[in-house]
Every structure is written in C-alpha cells, then in structure tokens.
Amino acid sequence: MKVITLCGSLKFKNEMMRVAEKLNLEGKCVITPVYPVGDNYIRTDEQLEAIKNAH
C-alpha cells in the first residue's frame, strides 16, 4: 500500500480533504494535518505542545 503525506496551510483545508478522499478511494493511505474541530474546543498547554511536536 502506498502512503502519502499531505502538508500545507489550513487555508487549503477543504482542498486537502478532497484530495485525501480521492486518494483514499484509490486505495492509498493518506496522512493529513490535524484540523481544528471548532472554536469551543479547549486544548490544554500539554495537548498544544503534543500537536506542535507531532510535526
């Protein structure tokens, strides 16, 4: 199985999600950025650090 990593600005979130879906439907494993789930979602300092370190 081919693994593909998509990187880019969250400004292109919708486009990256469309590409990821297309590639998934073609049988590829796609790794994407972590997208915010909403304004009301509160993250701890430890969670923010873990997300930052994941890159």
pTM: 0.65
Sequence ranges of the domains in the chain? 3-53
What pLDDT is attached to residue 52? 79
Among the listed residues 20, 11, 5, 2, the one whose alpha carbon sits nearest the alpha carbon of residue 55: 5
What pLDDT is attached to residue 47? 86
What pLDDT is attached to residue 33? 87
Task: Kindly give the confidence (pLDDT) of every residue in the chain, 55 residues in length, as a single tens digit, with 9 standing for 90 and above.
Answer: 899 999 988 889 899 999 999 999 999 999 998 877 777 778 889 988 887 777 6
